[in-house]
């Protein structure tokens, strides 16, 4: 079941459960997904940090985190895009590592738009998308490698 979730609670879930990233610094909205009364996933959506994408009609899925519950990712991507389009936004974008398949994104109606070798925020070439940052448990918070930009349009 989809449920509203506060930024604070979404950050807490993401901080504990995301494979490689910390929570983003802000959001427009977040949506939780519960199964049998337990939070199993969170999607966090915000304005794109890339000024070229921040055109007033685009939002970006900054984090999507689950505990591995089947179909949770697709449900959350779908809920995020429906909410964004209901608010009048025209497109939603997100980025994945190029080594990630994107089956949940495809199931939610996203299409791959481009593979980028630059950080869309800071213009740094592929490899590292920013400075060295490690989580408290030692995992890298900024994964290395190229990214794929995915897009879903309001009428697509």
CB atoms within 10 A of CB 90: 14
Backbone dihedral region of 78: left (phi > 0), alpha (psi from -120 to 50 degrees) or beta?
alpha
Decide if pLDDT at 15 tops 90. Answer: no
Strand 58-66 to strand 91-97: parallel, antiparallel, or no bridges (unpaired)? Answer: parallel
Give pLDDT, residue 137.
52
CA–CA separation, 14 and 33 (whole Å): 13
- Across 36-40, 92-96, 134-138, least confident range: 134-138
Higher pLDDT, 64 or 128: 64
Residues in the chain: 156
Burial 146-156 (b: 16+ CB within 10 A, else e): ebbbbbbeeee
The tokens for 91 are 């497109």
Find all residues with CB under 8 Å of 107, minimum gap 6, and list them.
71, 74, 77
Decide if pLDDT at 26 tops 80. Answer: yes
CA–CA separation, 76 and 65 (whole Å): 9
The tokens for 55 are 């055109």
Decide if pLDDT at 58 tops 70. Answer: yes
**Mean pLDDT, to the nearest integer, of 10-24?**
80
Q: Quick check: helix, strand or coil at residue 33?
A: strand
Residue with tokens 């685009």: 58
Give pLDDT, residue 65.
92
The tokens for 144 are 């290395």
CA–CA separation, 2 and 41 (whole Å): 9
Per-residue pLDDT band for 107 (boundaries 50, 70, 90) equals very high
Instruction: Return the percentage of the chain with pLDDT > 90, whole number.
Output: 63
Give the tens place of pLDDT for each residue, 75-90.
Answer: 999 999 999 999 999 9
CA–CA separation, 42 and 55 (whole Å): 25
């Amino acid at each position: 079941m989809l449920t509203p979730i506060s930024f604070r609670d979404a950050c807490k879930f993401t901080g504990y459960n995301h494979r490689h990233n910390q929570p983003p610094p802000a959001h427009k909205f977040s949506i939780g997904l519960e199964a049998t009364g337990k939070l199993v996933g969170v999607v966090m959506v915000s304005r794109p940090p890339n000024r070229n994408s921040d055109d007033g009609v685009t939002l970006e899925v900054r984090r999507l985190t689950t505990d591995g519950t089947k179909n949770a990712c697709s449900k959350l991507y779908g809920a995020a895009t429906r909410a964004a389009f209901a608010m009048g936004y025209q497109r939603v974008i997100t980025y994945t590592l190029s080594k990630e398949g994107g089956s949940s994104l495809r199931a939610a109606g996203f299409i791959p738009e481009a593979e980028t070798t630059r950080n869309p925020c800071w213009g740094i070439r592929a490899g590292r998308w920013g400075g060295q940052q490690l989580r408290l448990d030692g995992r890298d918070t900024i994964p290395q490698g190229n990214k794929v930009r995915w897009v879903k349009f309001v009428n697509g």
